[in-house]
């Protein structure tokens, strides 16, 4: 199974600060169809996961443009350019290139 | 507006069965692969099952293969998860999700305990 290693596990940020979360895969997520099925989600306390980024770098509908995704192959990054209070929660990366689909262990964003 | 509404959760004894349902609306259900994802209390997310548009293909991780069955009724825009031989480690909130992962239900809690 593909293992996604997310770092850091906990992130403490002030409002307005820019932060990054890393997601490293145990194998390449480039699919034979040319797509890389790497997603980023935010799960706010008590809520369902919300998709932020799809296919590595595409911003989800209605997602603020302070969120951005980058990377290729096995190394991926989610960046938040100017954290806002509503961004607190747990961030997960997920791969859907290889079955079984797998998630990273999560990064908890705390607001100082 | 896309909506996914799960139901059927509850408390069940180890070794027993439970069937979850997910009612979909706001999109052409038969056009999309669908999935179940679960989250144990205070834990991360785990993909549980996926089903193709027609229902002819299903996919599971080893942790539930042979015990869980995903199915769908396109005429009713409904997704199901039949869970047999339940174990304590199956205790979790179960989410219904549309592939593409943009839409998720609110989740339904399943507790396996004697």
Chain segment A2-30, per-residue pLDDT in tens: 999 999 999 999 999 999 999 999 999 99
Q: What is the mean pLDDT of residues B74-101?
A: 98
- Contact, B91 vs A44, CB < 8 A? no
Q: Which residues on A lie below 8 Å from B68 (Cβ)?
A: none
B29: left (phi over 0), alpha (psi -120 to 50) or beta: alpha
Q: Which of A46, A49, A90, A97 to mutate to test the interface with B (most CBs of B within 10 A)?
A: A49
Q: Which residues on B lie below 8 Å from A39 (Cβ)?
A: 101
Neighbours of A98 (CB within 10 A): 16
Sites in chain A below the pLDDT cut of 50:
none
Q: How far apart are the first and last CA of chain B?
A: 40
Closest to A58 in 3D by CA, of A43, A36, A42, A74: A36
Q: Which residues on A lie below 8 Å from B106 (Cβ)?
A: 48
For residues A69 and A80, give the distance between their C-alpha atoms in angstroms, rounded to a whole number: 9
Q: Which residues on B lie below 8 Å from A48 (Cβ)?
A: 95, 104-107
- At residue A87, the 3 state secondary structure works out as helix
B104 touches chain A (CB under 8 A): yes
Contact B44 A92 (CB under 8 A): yes
Across the interface, of A100, A104, A106, the residue whose CB is closest to B47 is A100
Across the interface, of A41, A51, A103, the residue whose CB is closest to B46 is A103
- Contact, A53 vs A78, CB < 8 A? yes
Closest to B92 in 3D by CA, of B106, B112, B68, B114: B112
Neighbours of B3 (CB within 10 A): 12
Beta bridge partners of B71: B80
B101 touches chain A (CB under 8 A): yes
User: How far from the centroid of its chain's Cα atoms is residue A70's Cα?
Assistant: 10
Residue A47: C-alpha distances to residues A7, A44, B7, B16 (Å): 22, 5, 16, 28
Alpha helices in chain B (DSSP H): none
pLDDT of the residue at B12: 98
Q: What is the mean pLDDT of residues B60-85?
A: 98
B33 touches chain A (CB under 8 A): no
Contact B100 A54 (CB under 8 A): yes
| Shortest CA gap A24–chain B (Å) | 17
- pLDDT tens, residue by residue, B18-68: 999 999 999 999 999 999 999 999 999 999 999 999 999 999 999 999 999
pLDDT of the residue at A92: 98
């Amino acid at each position: 199974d593909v293992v996604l290693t997310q770092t850091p596990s906990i992130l403490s940020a002030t409002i307005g600060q820019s932060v990054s979360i890393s997601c490293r895969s145990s194998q390449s997520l480039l699919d034979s169809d040319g797509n890389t099925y790497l997603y980023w989600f935010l799960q706010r306390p008590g809520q369902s996961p919300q998709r932020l980024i799809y296919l590595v770098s595409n911003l989800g509908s209605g997602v603020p443009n302070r969120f951005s995704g980058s990377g290729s192959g096995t190394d991926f990054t989610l960046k938040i350019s100017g954290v806002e209070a509503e961004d607190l929660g747990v961030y997960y990366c997920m791969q859907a290139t290889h079955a079984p689909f797998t998630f990273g262990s999560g990064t908890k964003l705390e607001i100082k | 507006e896309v909506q996914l509404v799960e139901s059927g959760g509850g408390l069940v004894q180890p070794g027993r069965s439970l069937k979850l349902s997910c009612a979909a609306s706001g999109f052409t259900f038969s056009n999309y692969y669908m999935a179940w994802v679960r989250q144990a209390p205070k834990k991360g997310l785990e993909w549980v099952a996926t089903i193709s548009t027609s229902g002819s293909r299903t996919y599971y991780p080893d942790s539930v293969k042979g015990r869980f069955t995903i199915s769908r009724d396109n005429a009713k825009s409904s997704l199901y998860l039949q869970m047999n031989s339940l174990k304590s480690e199956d205790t979790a909130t179960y989410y219904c999700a549309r592939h593409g992962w943009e839409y998720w239900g609110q989740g339904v809690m399943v507790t396996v305990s004697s």
